[in-house]
A and B are shown apart, each in its own frame.
Chain A
């Protein structure tokens, strides 16, 4: 017998629809062209297009699956899972030693050191060198300024989302061109083939 566990949300139950009354985010479109923008934290249309204010999208009927935030973050920032685990492990704690983080997460100590450096490369952590009483220095990893992190992660995610939207638009245009040239044929895999392999 197949089926979902009683408490397991189904695809349908997890689906969400764009709610224009929600203040979480807004979608605006230009009445004269295909321009659609996403706006966060704005009460008014964020920009004009063709010399007119953009209009709030109110008739989006399509339901979408809510994103798995963890997966989105991993994909959008190229953030290794271990790196995200490290961030989640020590938020609100600390100072913690690298050994403690390793033991807590079940990673090798060398893995922690490697991913701490990766988080610095990604701009999610800063590294400072502190003097050691016995000589030499100690590496200390700490969060970047929260406002800076907010701006960088949001813009970084928008870049990723913009790239995805542009690819979808390109694929739609490719599909449209194909159908115009092949009116008697079913839609083949041309839509997916138009996405470049990365």
Chain B
């Protein structure tokens, strides 16, 4: 079953916590999303590139504060994260 990056982020936020640094596993995420582990892992790396998630080599992952704030924006539309130039416009 295909899974979107956005749904992975939502599930990750539900299963982990940025402030308490609680993690979940890719395996658990894939099971909760009824998705292929490799697809979930691929999306996690994409989310990490956006500063929205932290994925570790041991197969655990958690949402970041940035990821939680993005979900609070409650936008299901086009989203681009320009993480490498955080202060470019300020």
Cβ of B52: which chain A residues have Cβ within 8 Å of it? 95
Cβ of A125: which chain B residues have Cβ within 8 Å of it? 78
Q: Among B64, B75, B79, B87, point to the contact of A96 (Cβ < 8 A).
A: B79
Which chain B residues numbered 21 to 80 have a C-beta less than 8 Å away from chain A? Answer: 46-47, 49-52, 64-66, 69-70, 73, 75, 77-80
Closest to B72 in A: A130
Q: Among B69, B78, B88, B89, point to the contact of A130 (Cβ < 8 A).
A: B69
In the complex, A155 has a CB within 8 A of chain B: no
In the complex, A140 has a CB within 8 A of chain B: yes
Cβ of B46: which chain A residues have Cβ within 8 Å of it? 95-97, 100
In the complex, A139 has a CB within 8 A of chain B: yes
Instruction: Tell whether, in the assembled complex, residue A138 and residue B86 are in contact, meaning their CB atoms are under 8 Å apart.
Output: yes
Instruction: Tell whether, in the assembled complex, residue B80 and residue A132 are in contact, meaning their CB atoms are under 8 Å apart.
Output: no
Q: Would you give the shortest CB distance from B17 to chain A, in whole angstroms?
A: 13
Residues of chain A at the chain B interface (Cβ within 8 Å): 86-87, 90-91, 93-101, 109, 112-113, 116-117, 125, 127-133, 136-143, 146
Q: Among B70, B77, B79, B90, point to the contact of A137 (Cβ < 8 A).
A: B90
Q: Would you give the shortest CB distance from B47 to chain A, in whole angstroms?
A: 7
Complex CA–CA separation, A155 to B33 (angstroms): 42
Complex CA–CA separation, A98 to B82 (angstroms): 5
Closest to B18 in A: A133
Cβ of A132: which chain B residues have Cβ within 8 Å of it? 51, 65-66, 83, 86
Complex CA–CA separation, A1 to B9 (angstroms): 59
Instruction: Tell whether, in the assembled complex, residue A141 and residue B80 are in contact, meaning their CB atoms are under 8 Å apart.
Output: yes
Sample 20 A-B pairs with CB under 8 A, ordered by A number: A90-B78, A90-B79, A93-B78, A96-B5, A96-B50, A96-B80, A97-B50, A100-B46, A116-B80, A129-B90, A131-B66, A132-B66, A136-B86, A137-B86, A138-B66, A139-B86, A140-B70, A140-B80, A142-B77, A143-B78
Closest to B85 in A: A113
Q: Would you give the shortest CB distance from A107 to chain B, in whole angstroms?
A: 13
Instruction: Tell whether, in the assembled complex, residue A98 and residue B81 are in contact, meaning their CB atoms are under 8 Å apart.
Output: yes
Cβ of B90: which chain A residues have Cβ within 8 Å of it? 129, 137
Cβ of B88: which chain A residues have Cβ within 8 Å of it? 113, 139
